Amino acid sequence: MKIFRAKAPLRLSFCGGGTDVSPYPEEKGGVVLSTTVDKYAYASLQPRADDRLRIRSLDYDIVANYHRSELEYDGELDLVKAVARHFDMPSGADLFIHSDAPPGSGLGSSSTMCVALVGVFMEWLNRPLTHYEIAEITYRIEREELQIAGGKQDQYAATFGGFNYIEFLKDATVVNPLRIRPDIRNELEYALILCYTGQTRLSANIVASQTRSFVEGKKPVVAALDRMKDLAQEMKTALLLGDLPAFGKLLHVAWTEKKHLDPKISSGRIDKLYQVARRHGAVGGKILGAGGGGYLLLYVPFRKKHHVARVLTEAGGEPVPFSFTESGLVSWSVED
């Protein structure tokens, strides 16, 4: 019997996060600059002869059994249930899921897992879907079906993969792949530090709070979102021209703007790690995702990188190795 598999890459969002959250893109148009890395969400599926859906989640240490026609949302594995319901399973299945980053990490792990799940069901049921269709299905499952607060960037980043400048318009989303010179790509990878803060958070709460502030017209929040959109454009230009020192400085500016979106985006621990890194040579950086915890991304000139990594570790952070990846969602099958 065949086993069907899929994996989707997690992402680093450099700038623009927040401008992809409704209603900002519908009113003003949003943009996000991001790339994917060699950390993945994985899904494996083996069809069953009966009508049971058996789910094993390594991340949550859960094994759960359901009837495929009785998938009620109750807060446990709802993402998996929603994808299964969307595809109208023809039989039962065993599902095994896990991710290289914990939920609440700021690397888009929840949306990336949803993309991997859509990919594995697509592979099983032989449903040919375009990248745009996969990303839109994932977005609708998370934001409309399950009513999880958040934006659109993660679904598109995980599906398409690579360096992208993504535009969120009123009636469409456009993914613009960036042709970055290999030497610039390699140098950027060498100059970045990905540091786990030791804390995770529920991003939906922070996103919901900043969305309320935008809807209420709070000027600091609106101004910060507008400025971050401009900064994403500037950072894209710096990357394409190979001006990495300017890119690093813009990361710092983007972080100062991002903190205006909501008080919970940063914390005493995050501020301490960032200040330590800056004091010892980091040019710029930011917390990834909605904030509040997860991973800190830092741009550090190569002569100071190892020293900054050491002082971050001494301050309680955990630098994590990574590499950029060009591929997005992939799916395949093997004989058991």
Q: What is the C-alpha to C-alpha distance for residues 123 and 4, in angstroms, rounded to an integer?
A: 7
Say if residues 336 and 2 touch (Cβ distance below 8 Å): yes
- CA-to-CA separations, 288 to 18, 234, 272, 297, in angstroms, rounded: 12, 19, 16, 7
Q: What is the C-alpha to C-alpha distance for residues 255 and 262, in angstroms, rounded to an integer?
A: 12
Nearest to 84 by CA among 37, 35, 122, 31: 122
Active-site residue identified among 20, 100, 154, 262: 154
Maximum Cα interatomic distance, the chain, rounded to a whole number of Å: 61
Angle at 333 between CA 332 and CA 336, to 5 degrees: 150
Residue 154 known to be catalytic: yes
Tokens of 168: 């969120």
Q: What is the C-alpha to C-alpha distance for residues 223 and 112, in angstroms, rounded to an integer?
A: 29
**Active-site residue set:** 154
